[in-house]
Amino acid sequence: MKRPLDYNHELKTVGISNIISGMTGGYTGSYIFSQTIFSLRMGIRSRLMGYVVAAVSLISVIVPFNILAYIPNFFFGSLLMMIALDLMFEWLIDVREKVTSAEYFILLGTFVLLQILGVEFGIIGGCLLYVIMQKMGYDLGKEEQIIEDEKDLTMATYQTPIQTRP
This prediction has a pTM of 0.54
Rounded Cα distance, 131 and 87, in Å: 26
Residue 19: exposure state from Cβ atoms within 10 A (0-12, 13-18, ≥19): exposed
Rounded Cα distance, 56 and 60, in Å: 6
In this prediction, residue 45 has a pLDDT band, given cuts at 50, 70 and 90, of confident
Residue 37: exposure state from Cβ atoms within 10 A (0-12, 13-18, ≥19): middle
pLDDT tens column, 69-123:
888 989 989 988 988 898 888 889 988 888 888 899 999 999 999 999 999 999 9
pLDDT tens column, 20-39:
988 998 887 766 566 777 77
Instruction: Give, rounded to a whole angstrom, the gap between the first and last alpha carbons of the chain.
Output: 38
Q: Hey, what amino acid is at 41? A: R
Instruction: Check: CB of residue 125 under 8 Å from CB of residue 117.
Output: yes
Overall size of the chain counted in residues: 166
Nearest alpha-carbon partner for 134 in 158, 165, 90? 165
The Cβ of residue 63 has, within 10 Å, a number of other Cβ atoms equal to: 9
pLDDT of 127 above 60: yes
Give 159's DSSP letter: B
pLDDT of 149 above 70: no
